[in-house]
Amino acid sequence: MIIAERKPIEEIKTFVMGRKRVLVVGCRGCVTVCNAGGTKEVGILASLLRLEAAKDGEGTVVDELTLERQCDPEYIEELSELMGGRYDCVLSMACSIGPQFISRRYPGESVFPALNTCFLGGALAHGIWAEHCQACGNCVIHKFGGLCPISRCSKSLLNGPCGGSAGGKCEVSKDIDCVWHLIVEKIESEGRMGEFLGIELVKDWRPSRDGGPRKIVREELLK
């Protein structure tokens, strides 16, 4: 899923400064699962903004709403009755797709992202998420013991590990596992080192972002 986290309240305050009517919009997709922008987090942010406004003697009204998803026009449409001058500002608590979809559908509205969209990952434990995919568009993890060197090696090496791998950790930080260390261990444990010694050739980055912004068209789904 997409992992996100809320922007610092100081930054969000600069978005709402001078605006009297604020709508905070959450999303029940990925950001609910990673505890960044679901109903609960919408409530917390709205309360914080009300408190800050009260502290500053501002009579700001902060309303709350959580949509099923913000990456789908069908659900963005649910905002239509609320848009058109009722709010001075919309704070989207979805990944960055949400505020973009809201802005496009409602061009007259001031829309701000309340989250930083961080990476594609999963939960290692409650409260810990880690990047596992870079959406490079051509999955190769089967060649690396089911582990992704593109997203999980700091240098995206296809023929690692580099000389900075020490004690299973990446040279960048002791908090980062060297994925190449894990790959080598996995291949060894499978007894496949012999077949692992070929050179993994250069990657074609076109299916990744390097080919320009990507789009998928599924003809069979078009009406």
Unique residue bearing structure tokens 């979805």: 94
Q: Is 175 in the site for another protein (CB under 8 A)?
A: no
Listed ranges 38-46, 117-125, 131-139, 157-165: which one lies at the site for another protein (CB under 8 A): 157-165
Cα distance from N-terminal residue to C-terminal residue, the chain: 28
Query: What secondary structure letter does DSSP report for 201?
Result: P
Residues 159, 189, 190, 206: which binds another protein (CB under 8 A)? 159
In the complex, minimum distance from the CB of residue 104 to another protein, in angstroms, rounded to a whole number: 27
Q: Is 128 in the site for another protein (CB under 8 A)?
A: no
Residues 185, 190, 209, 214: which binds another protein (CB under 8 A)? 185
Q: Is 205 in the site for another protein (CB under 8 A)?
A: yes
Q: Which residues contact 154 (CB under 8 A, 6 or more apart)?
A: 170, 171, 172, 176
Closer residue to another protein in complex, CB, 68/188 = 188
DSSP H helices in the chain: 9-16, 30-33, 39-55, 73-76, 97-105, 149-152, 179-189
CA distance to 107, 143, 201, per residue, from 194 (Å): 59, 13, 17
Closer residue to another protein in complex, CB, 123/158 = 158
Residues 33, 65, 133, 158: which binds another protein (CB under 8 A)? 158
Q: State yes or no: cis peptide before 8, omega within 30 of 0.
A: no
- List interacting residues with another protein (CB under 8 A): 154-168, 171-173, 178, 181, 184-185, 193, 197, 199, 201-202, 205
